[in-house]
Amino acid sequence: MENVGVCDEFVNLKATELRLGLPGTEDGGEAEKQKISCGRSNKRALPETEKDIESTGKTETASPPKAQIVGWPPVRSYRKNNIQTKKNESEGQGMYVKVSMDGAPYLRKIDLTVYKQYSELMKSLENMFKFSVGEYFEREGYKGSDFVPTYEDKDGDWMLVGDVPWEMFVSSCKRLRIMKGSEAKGLGCSV
Amino acid sequence: MASVSLLFVTLLSVTLYINIKSFILWDQSQTFLPSLSDSVLMDRRFPFKVLEHIFSFVDSNEDRNSVSLVCKSWFETERRTRKRVFVGNCYAVSPLKVARRFPKMRSLTLKGKPHFADYNLVPDGWGGYAWPWIEAMAARRPLLEEIRLKRMVVTDECLEKIAASFRDFKSLVLTSCEGFSTDGIAAIASTCRKLRNLELRECIVDDLGGDWLSYFPETSTSLVSLDFSCLDSEVKLSDLERLLSRSPNLKSLKLNRSVTLDVLESLLRRAPQLVELGTGSFSDELDPEEISKLTKALSELKQLKSLSGLWDLLPEYIPVLYSVCPRLTSLNLSYATVQMPDLIDLLSRCSKLQKLWVMDLIEDKGLKTVALCCKELRELRVFPSGADLDETDVTLTEQGLVSVSEGCQKLESVLYFCVQFTNAALVSIAKNRPNFRCFRLCVMEPFAPDYRTQQPLDEGFKAIVERCKDLRRLSVSGLLTDKAFEYIGVHAKKLRMLSIAFAGDSDLMLHHLLSGCESLKKLEIRDCPFGDTALLENAAKLETMRSLWMSSCFVSFGACKQLSQKMPRLNVEVIDEHPPKTRPDSSPVERIYIYRTVAGPRLDTPEFVWTIHKKPEVGVSRLAIR
């Protein structure tokens, strides 16, 4: 019957179709999820972020990064825009990003447009959080300190501060995190 | 009066048909089903005048639609007396037919785009143009007084036409519309001498400046409601003050965000009779004297029942609102990014509250306060603030909704965004509140199971549909199998609108719904793994519904063709922004929108929409007229 033929074709289509799903529920599901969490090859390896393990009650599917689904969650664009503009306006013209440091109980916000280059930014962060960041080496990351400044970019990947040209950094940085300890070493030293 | 119309409905031995049938009736050159005339108790000799008088008590359009199906004379009498016309899908019938059918039409309500257009699932340019309707009414129904449009494309030409054509025009309410500028609004303001209502609700307007407000003539004193909350630019304060001063009947005023806090007091002083107030921005710095004046001005609003706006509400200004809280029946805090403690402060004073819109910043604790203090609550909407993306701790869980369902006996309508849920919570909620009429739960994580048991949320939603016998509208989410939809099909007999995303396993899901939900009128589905078989098996059902939307599902082009050929009075629209070079029958379609219509395929489709032709050999016809 014609219908059977249609179904067969659908099975094939299904296999190649990219969908979201819990591992095991759909064929393509697992592969897709892993694809998302792999990151790109030209970026340094991601450290395991603790936040997902810490946060109580979140399901496994809640691990970052969330793929952007059109129209989800179903909130009217009018409402989305109004909340967004609020955030931007209240922060004035600058590019404000949150800065957190491992072990410090408080978050700070800084305006990236105030700085012209990495050294200025680093000085400011060091002052703010009372630490010292060591020296940056292009291939080896930061040496001479337990602290490593990292940032989350537009794609949701965690990068080492200083890897990309300053302008690119300012335009893609969503927030900063100063990592500490063994985690930091892992990030700083990988290729 | 209600008992009179009930009397007629019970006298009729005819099953309730749907609106569309009455148009078909009229469409077929005013012949009518012979069997009806035999069973009718009132025959044609019953005086028209008496019928007319009796029908004037029948307000509900649903009842009127039933009345119009009884026999030819009832149809005629009803159509000559109907004043308020509602068309749920602007493409279901032609404007000309509607204009001709209802000579006494004074109010027209139209809806255009599918609901999922709100979430960017319908590409721009799909359709929903108001112009053909405005044009038709302008030519034939110049006594029209009210136009209410939702999700339609309205141009400045439309607005100018309205202003120029309807001399008694009183009321323009545009919800989620787009395509016009402030120039169009100015035309309405300046020309419609008897204007009472001008409401722009969440529209996308080409904002050319705040001048439009100055176009209200100095002689205009008729305003009852004014809502320009969706506009961006500043209006001149003096224009607004003068308008308020000369509008003693103004009951509802919704300002836009650029009206700053420091001028609010001066505006309120001029409109102490307000029943509904939407403030502008609530964040500017005020000195103590200004604060005290504002507090006083707000306390003078003795009739105030509804408060909204409150953009950027600063916690220090919450005491300013204390005086209005005890009277409030409606409070929209969904743009106020205040935290839970401040929300508790405010809400604990709102004992008469019936409608609350708030963000998830209210958290479970805040909702517990609502459960304790707002015993009159009927409608609750909790929107996501996006705070969870910033990793600010927002403890809004399923518990919040459970508390409210326990404490608020009158709660009947809910929209709740939450990261995850449990079956146990849904069961509790259903047990507590069998009186739900509208239950929309959005578990924001697609495919999220019950986070305690890892089971699908099937059992939870089963409880909801089993217990809430009056459920009219339902949105489901989270991990759901076909079973959930079997339950819905079995139990949700009064369900009219259902929204589904990322759910189900197979065609069975759709089959359960289409064969089980007797009252289903609108079904919208995205990202679910089924299509063809269920669709074709239940094709007849689709003509009893207003519309069906399916996107990112497995519907094949061949099935669309078959469906269209099988059902002459359905428009089957394929929406495909990236159409394949060839379209074999087995190829899946991106999105389909199927709706019943007596107007045939529409002529205004853009290039990415195809209406499937009825004749098999034609297959696809793209009848596009720009």
Q: Which residues of B187-204 are buried (b: 16+ CB within 10 A; e: fewer)?
A: bbbbbbeebbbbbbebbe
Quickly count helices (H) and strands (E) in chain A: 7, 7
Q: Please give the distance of CA A114 from its chain centroid, rounded to a whole number.
A: 23
**What is the spatial distance between Cα B593 and Cα B573, in angstroms, rounded to a whole number?**
5
pLDDT digit of tens for each residue in chain A (191 aa)? 333 333 444 444 444 555 555 444 444 333 333 333 333 333 443 333 333 333 333 333 334 444 568 889 999 988 887 775 545 544 445 677 888 887 776 667 788 888 888 888 888 888 877 777 777 777 677 777 778 888 988 888 888 888 888 888 988 888 888 887 666 555 544 43
- Written as six digits, the tokens of B259 are 């009206």
Question: Is there a contact between B164 and B188 (Cβ–Cβ < 8 Å)?
Answer: no
β-sheet bridge partners, residue A101: A178
Contacts of A72 in chain B (CB under 8 A): 119, 444, 446, 501
| Structural domain includes residue A175 | yes
**C-beta atoms of A77 and B118 within 8 A:** yes
| Structural domain includes residue A57 | no
Question: Is there a contact between B575 and B126 (Cβ–Cβ < 8 Å)?
Answer: yes
Contacts of A83 in chain B (CB under 8 A): 335, 337, 385-386
| Structural domain includes residue A80 | no
* B399 CB within 8 Å of a chain A CB: no
The phi-psi region of residue B179 (left if phi > 0; otherwise alpha if psi is between -120 and 50; otherwise beta) is: left
Beta strands in B294-396 (DSSP E): 306-308, 330-332, 355-359, 379-383
Q: Give A168: exposed, middle or buried? Use CB within 10 Å, 0-12, 13-18, 19+.
A: exposed
Using alpha carbons only, give the angle B350, B353, B358 rounded to the nearest 5 degrees: 90
Kindly identify which residue of chain B lies nearest to residue A71, measuring between CA atoms.
B119
Select from B120, B201, B589 the residue whose CB has the most chain A CBs within 10 Å, as the one to mutate to test that interface.
B120
Whole-number pLDDT of residue A178? 87
**C-beta atoms of B385 and A13 within 8 A:** no
pLDDT tens readout for residues B429-479:
999 999 999 999 999 989 999 999 999 999 999 999 999 999 999 999 999
**C-beta atoms of A20 and B502 within 8 A:** yes
Q: How many CB pairs under 8 A join A and B?
A: 102
| Structural domain includes residue A133 | yes
End-to-end CA distance of chain B: 48
Whole-number pLDDT of residue A136? 78
Residue bearing tokens 């004043």: B83
Contacts of B176 in chain A (CB under 8 A): 76, 78
* A24 CB within 8 Å of a chain B CB: no
Question: Is there a contact between A150 and A186 (Cβ–Cβ < 8 Å)?
Answer: no
Contacts of A10 in chain B (CB under 8 A): 554, 556, 586, 588
Select from B308, B421, B554, B589 the residue whose CB has the most chain A CBs within 10 Å, as the one to mutate to test that interface.
B554
* A143 CB within 8 Å of a chain B CB: no
Identity of the residue numbered B538: N
CB-based contacts of A184, cutoff 8 Å, min separation 6? A142, A146, A147, A148
Whole-number pLDDT of residue A45? 37
Q: Please give the distance of CA B321 from its chain centroid, rounded to a whole number.
A: 29
* B175 CB within 8 Å of a chain A CB: no
**C-beta atoms of A83 and B420 within 8 A:** no
B597: closest CA of chain A, how far (Å)? 28
Q: What domain range is A171 assigned to?
A: 96-185
| Structural domain includes residue A119 | yes
Whole-number pLDDT of residue B5? 57
Contacts of B444 in chain A (CB under 8 A): 72-73
**C-beta atoms of B120 and A10 within 8 A:** no
**What is the spatial distance between Cα B534 and Cα B35, in angstroms, rounded to a whole number?**
33
Q: What is the ipTM of this complex?
A: 0.83
| CATH number of the domain enclosing A178 | 3.10.20.90
Tally the domains of chain A.
1
Question: Is there a contact between B516 and B482 (Cβ–Cβ < 8 Å)?
Answer: no
Of B334, B337, B446, the CB nearest to A72: B446
A8: closest CA of chain B, how far (Å)? 10
Look at residues B400, B350, B343, B399 and name the one whose alpha carbon lies nearest to residue B375.
Answer: B350
- Written as six digits, the tokens of B401 are 């909704």
**C-beta atoms of B532 and A3 within 8 A:** yes
Give me the sign of the Cα torsion angle B424, B425, B428, B434. Answer: negative
* B230 CB within 8 Å of a chain A CB: yes
**What is the spatial distance between Cα B116 and Cα A71, in angstroms, rounded to a whole number?**
8
Question: Is there a contact between A172 and A154 (Cβ–Cβ < 8 Å)?
Answer: yes
**C-beta atoms of A62 and B442 within 8 A:** no
Chain A contacts in chain B segment 598-617 (CB below 8 A): none
Look at residues A155, A162, A46, A173 and name the one whose alpha carbon lies nearest to residue A99.
Answer: A173
- DSSP letter, residue A26: B
**C-beta atoms of B442 and A73 within 8 A:** yes
Question: Is there a contact between B182 and B174 (Cβ–Cβ < 8 Å)?
Answer: no
Residue bearing tokens 């519907």: B555
| Structural domain includes residue A143 | yes
| Structural domain includes residue A113 | yes
| Structural domain includes residue A110 | yes
Chain A contacts in chain B segment 407-426 (CB below 8 A): 417, 419-420
**C-beta atoms of B420 and A58 within 8 A:** yes
Helix (H) or strand (E) holding A88: helix A77-90
Spans in chain B with pLDDT lower than 50: 11-19, 27-41, 623-626
**What is the spatial distance between Cα B563 and Cα B534, in angstroms, rounded to a whole number?**
11
Of A59, A71, A90, the CB nearest to B420: A59
